[in-house]
Structure 1
């Protein structure tokens, strides 16, 4: 049965259209289950529509519709569970639709197709003779429905998009709020191997194009191979070496050129050769040789990318665009010219992935989880990105564009109002001083009037410069960067976090492949396993800090006291070495740890004996306490820092830090959210570190509330049972105190 399930799933997933997919589904399911009828109903505007059938009257497809409250099919969708009946006619919910001609069928099994808690449709099998479908048959159909849910949802959405010629509206999740109007710039969309067969008139020109694409692909593979060889990852490097061999003249590379010589365009030649060889390899019996078909496909797509969109990042100067991609990493964002980046839209990603955090730091509107965004042609089309409301509009009317321009202008005026108070301290109405710091990773984020309003740098992410290199930066290179950071902050304190890679922040030259990267080799764990690299970073930080009092060092992902002790030993080693080498006395910086791993919550008394301060990383703390991978779209909706359990953990952390006289701050995303800042101040936190885009708004907000008001709010928030209720209380509070304009 497993092979049958796989065959049906693969056939449906490979279909180009929804109609073809559903036709394949009903035919193959009917055959696999040896029934006389199989049908699929899709949910459209709260009605189940017969969308494909093998056994009922085909003229009824698209015409038979029923609400969820009617019929046995509706019962399966309404209850979200299987309905298995020996004789459907005796059930009170049975409803006969004469146009489908199902009078002869009695045995009935319906299973809902559910995607992320939402019913997409129902699959039904029927037989003339009365009998109960077996447990095995029911389990088979339920498994098939679960496997196909995402495929059917995707094809259904694609069909809906293709039926709309303009003014398409996509929905997604807000990663960074704001509005942008610009042309779309699609980067890294899937390159289809199936290119049209187009003849060429100028064979010499096409030969030049294909050879240039092959050479560019070879250069790219060389760079990748050398990178992994340098990291002694020989098994990975060998993959790229194998691809390079396929590009040789006596292999696929020569076949591409010869196909062009036969009169085909370069794109057509690559497609024809690749498909020909893929079919040959798939027809072989040897499993290993069958797998090589995927290598041929991947190589063909690499060469096609060089033909279709070479040097895609080279934009016209001063042309802001909305970047549309399958996924965006932090390196891509850091390298993309900021003045050309109006917004970001991705198919994948999480709201607390590092790229999303960086987008917020840059103040760039970003929308993620837009499932069908790459399945339609939006490259170079005018887009309106309303990330605040989670919408992307394609080819909107001039009237709609004008309306959004008014909104953008209003937001600009609001930001001016916020910024006008940045020179004033963040002090509540009853006089409590709150120190607001900046989270930063790029120098450009520190050199602005907004940054001037911060009390210092509460979190400098040293991994960003590491991500921008093609190798580990040297000690001298790191010293230069850290000195620039300290200089940009003037005399204000700067908290530098040691290298925090792993999880969703891999280095391009240090690939880490793990089943559970957030629970794996990351943060201080990686640094302690590479003391030769860690010592270089500590030495660079100490030299940049010199004899001043400005520098503080923060350790990420600390999960036990031994990690702190080992780090302090390495820091002492670096300190002693430098004092001898430089013949001068450097300042010992304050040392802190990130409170991200829940276990550390119960060891703060011991932590206080070793370090000077604690910085709460609310993102990872939330992730670990709720057991939710924040980048997994299937569960990312469960990630919520307003969960009462998270709020209680944050309150406990503050209380214990105060008890043990341990300085404490919050540098996670929660500190930069208006609701989050209100709750943290209510708990008693007086040091909040946030992205540049949040600084002026939070300062403006805190100057309009009192701690007495917030204390009553906190009591109520800690007493409720879920995050939705917490947010409702916060919304009511802001409305009662006329603060809602600050939030939106």
Structure 2
């Protein structure tokens, strides 16, 4: 019996055999030909890799999975990515080694970006590059075949590891290196299966073929449990299953603290899919959908009409609840391998303006609000508002109906915006979002090799800036929502209630957990404003 401790990515408890995703050894017995032949081999491998990705995308079980595969295909077509590999091959390197080098360069750039959503896309670079290298090395790319329900284990999960599996056969996920914001973690929470990450090097391999107790409630993995441990785990599983079948009483309970102070908890979504919206509302998002990410529309290259249709579908799924859509921002992806492609699209198709026009047109179909990310002070805000006004003038000239009063808010992610929040409100921000995780990391400007361990979001300096924003907003009767709340820092949110925060946006799996902690508060002595 061996016990390992990790980080909980998705709660729950299960018992079962471990099946490991083994990618084997890389780079053995390679023979390097002349540059012309190596380039030809690389070009052929790219064609085959894209064909495989297209087939996976065709059979993807989830629209988000299809978007990830589309991104991988776009990466393999990216000019800067291709040139990097071509230059190294021309210098005499083998094609497989050139792809591995490009993988390290481009994945490294993404992993150093201060945005958790974008940061996790580094694994997509590794996934796509590993597929090309496997083709060049002649290794099998057949997915793992599960003949019985199993707990999947990996050093690091690649998105394509999970796309083609029968998800009814997956009991849980364990990983040596994945994080709570990785695709594997998000998928586990969506499936409702337990998952542990950050178990440490070699744990997945040592657990392969063994029976384990995966206890994400206690963040532990017990390999070869004793009969007593197995029996105890089965009893707790039965209790958890019984509770799961009963409606969570917190979902319909009013959002009021012990002293009667009201608060709002908003859900989030990575796409406009109705299932994501319903999951948030069913889990107690009493204020609606607080953050819908739209990055996938860049990769899908949706035109204005398609975007209008997507936003209207989103609003219809929300059934009258408010929905906040976050604009995408190519500038925030600086250094990412697709940035050149995105900037080219923006120049050719007025990407940013297209989204603004589509949102203005969709605004009349429901309760829609728009939040603008990565605003660096009042000047950046003014430039964004100028673009919105220009879009409105265009739509008026074209005789196209739109929402003249579409609410637009500012995302406070960098200290400059927090310090100039009074001016930003005076210049037209209808509401504010404070991204705690990004704000903390921009404040401390962590060295690249330390970014894996995120700064706490409730340090004195972060709280001081948040307090200033809350005070400025309260003086001008402007709504503020806290978002970017790491899963392992939900316990810091009661402290922000004492500062005056009354609205929170969290991942759907955390809705009831956050609500439970806020219901216990007594703010009768708290000096902040009421909701």
TM-score by length of 1: 0.53
Do the aligned partners of residues 175 and 375 (structure 1) sit closer, same or farther apart at CA in structure 2, a change above 3 Å counting? closer
Give the one of 436, 446, 456 matched to 1:640: 456
Q: What is the aligned partner in structure 1 of residue 499 from structure 2?
A: 683
Do the aligned partners of residues 375 and 699 (structure 1) sit closer, same or farther apart at CA in structure 2, a change above 3 Å counting? closer
Q: Would you say how many aligned residue pairs link Structure 1 and Structure 2?
A: 465
State how 1:133-532 maps to structure 2 within 5 Å: 167-187=1-21, 189-194=23-28, 218-220=47-49, 227=74, 231=78, 233=79, 235-238=80-83, 288-289=91-92, 294-295=97-98, 301-303=133-135, 307-312=139-144, 319=149, 321-322=151-152, 324-328=154-158, 342-351=171-180, 365-373=194-202, 376=205, 378-379=207-208, 381-413=210-242, 419-442=248-271, 443=273, 444-448=275-279, 450-451=282-283, 453-463=285-295, 465-466=296-297, 471-499=300-328, 510=339, 532=350
Give the one of 351, 359, 375 matched to 1:541: 359
Query: In structure 1, what is the Cα distance between the partners aligned to 2:239 and 2:380?
Result: 50
Q: What is the aligned partner in structure 2 of residue 138 from structure 1?
A: none
Q: What is the aligned partner in structure 2 of residue 59 from structure 1?
A: none
Do the aligned partners of residues 582 and 506 (structure 1) sit closer, same or farther apart at CA in structure 2, a change above 3 Å counting? farther
Give the one of 455, 459, 471 matched to 1:655: 471
TM-superposed CA distance for 1:640, in Å, is 1.3
* 1:157-208: CA deviation from partner (whole Å, max 9, x where unpaired): xxxxxxxxxx44333333444434444454474534449xxxxxxxxxxxxx
Q: Is the 8 A contact 2:326 2:373 kept in 1?
A: yes
Q: Is the 8 A contact 2:315 2:365 kept in 1?
A: no
Do the aligned partners of residues 451 and 237 (structure 1) sit closer, same or farther apart at CA in structure 2, a change above 3 Å counting? same
TM-superposed CA distance for 1:655, in Å, is 1.3
Query: In structure 2, what is the Cα distance between the partners aligned to 1:578 and 1:593?
Result: 23
Query: In structure 1, what is the Cα distance between the partners aligned to 2:321 and 2:291?
Result: 13
TM-superposed CA distance for 1:505, in Å, is 11
* 1:30-65: CA deviation from partner (whole Å, max 9, x where unpaired): xxxxxxxxxxxxxxxxxxxxxxxxxxxxxxxxxxxx
TM-superposed CA distance for 1:506, in Å, is 9.3
Do the aligned partners of residues 690 and 395 (structure 1) sit closer, same or farther apart at CA in structure 2, a change above 3 Å counting? same
Do the aligned partners of residues 326 and 428 (structure 1) sit closer, same or farther apart at CA in structure 2, a change above 3 Å counting? same
Report the RMSD for the aligned CA atoms in angstroms.
Answer: 4.4
Query: In structure 1, what is the Cα distance between the partners aligned to 2:288 and 2:155?
Result: 34
Give the one of 493, 509, 517 matched to 1:693: 509
Q: Is the 8 A contact 2:372 2:410 kept in 1?
A: yes
| Pair 1:706-2:525 in alignment | no
Q: What is the aligned partner in structure 2 of residue 599 from structure 1?
A: 416
TM-superposed CA distance for 1:306, in Å, is 6.1
Q: What is the aligned partner in structure 2 of residue 722 from structure 1?
A: none
Do the aligned partners of residues 450 and 323 (structure 1) sit closer, same or farther apart at CA in structure 2, a change above 3 Å counting? farther
Q: Is the 8 A contact 2:81 2:337 kept in 1?
A: no
Query: In structure 1, what is the Cα distance between the partners aligned to 2:207 and 2:330?
Result: 34
TM-superposed CA distance for 1:479, in Å, is 2.7
Query: In structure 1, what is the Cα distance between the partners aligned to 2:72 and 2:86?
Result: 6
Query: In structure 1, what is the Cα distance between the partners aligned to 2:322 and 2:469?
Result: 23
Do the aligned partners of residues 667 and 505 (structure 1) sit closer, same or farther apart at CA in structure 2, a change above 3 Å counting? farther
Q: Is the 8 A contact 1:362 1:445 kept in 2?
A: no
Q: Is the 8 A contact 1:176 1:360 kept in 2?
A: yes
Q: Secondary structure at the residue paired with 1:605?
A: helix
Unaligned ranges ≥5, structure 2:
30-42, 54-70, 102-129
Give the one of 544, 549, 562 matched to 2:379: 562
Q: Is the 8 A contact 1:189 1:326 kept in 2?
A: no
Query: In structure 2, what is the Cα distance between the partners aligned to 1:506 and 1:354?
Result: 21
Do the aligned partners of residues 290 and 239 (structure 1) sit closer, same or farther apart at CA in structure 2, a change above 3 Å counting? closer
TM-superposed CA distance for 1:581, in Å, is 4.1
Do the aligned partners of residues 627 and 190 (structure 1) sit closer, same or farther apart at CA in structure 2, a change above 3 Å counting? farther
Do the aligned partners of residues 384 and 227 (structure 1) sit closer, same or farther apart at CA in structure 2, a change above 3 Å counting? same
Query: In structure 2, what is the Cα distance between the partners aligned to 1:708 and 1:457?
Result: 29
Do the aligned partners of residues 597 and 529 (structure 1) sit closer, same or farther apart at CA in structure 2, a change above 3 Å counting? farther
Give the one of 394, 406, 415 matched to 1:577: 394
Higher relative contact order (CA closer than 8 Å, sequence separation 6+):
2
Q: Is the 8 A contact 1:418 1:696 kept in 2?
A: no
TM-score by length of 2: 0.72
TM-superposed CA distance for 1:446, in Å, is 1.8
